Amino acid sequence: MNRLTLYTTLGCHLCERLETLLARLHHGEYRLEKVEISEDEALMERYGVRIPVLVDEAGDELDMGFEPSRLAAWLADRHCLDETAWRCQSGEMVSGEEERGEWKPSVQRSTGRRYLG
């Protein structure tokens, strides 16, 4: 199981986005420990303007992991990127779907409203 740490603070919408992306793109099981930085001056100084910061077991940090491409690259470097989920997230076709004519975008627009496809 992959153990990750998320430096965050209450109400951080970017942290919530990172958690959502992580749940979608991480291959296999992982444990996410959330560390509230507002309760510690040293953590506030280190991470205050950088959150969310995702850290792996080796101590390697990812700033701005709420950007899908940055998170995907970081996970791929650790061999825990769900490639299929990433292809779907980034709008690419899953292998073989194009030849079979089965690929459809995940979101279709009609009359200005968004519908899941």
Here the CATH number for the domain that contains residue 92 is: 3.40.30.10
18-61 pLDDT tens trace: 999 999 999 999 999 999 999 999 999 999 999 999 999 999 99
Sheet architecture: strand order including 2-8: 30-36, 2-8, 53-55, 61-63
The range of the structural domain enclosing residue 104 comes to 2-116
Q: Which uninterrupted H or E stretch holds 113?
A: strand 113-116
| pTM for this predicted structure | 0.75
Q: Are strands 113-116 and 107-110 parallel, antiparallel or unpaired?
A: antiparallel
- CA–CA distance, 8 with 94 (Å, rounded to integer): 33
Q: How many CA atoms are closer than 13 Å to the CA of 7, on its beta-carbon side? A: 24
Q: How many domains does the chain have?
A: 1
Strands 2-8 and 53-55, by their bridges, are: antiparallel
pLDDT bracket for residue 91 (50, 70, 90): confident
CB atoms inside a 10 Å sphere around CB 101: 7
pLDDT at 117 over 90: no
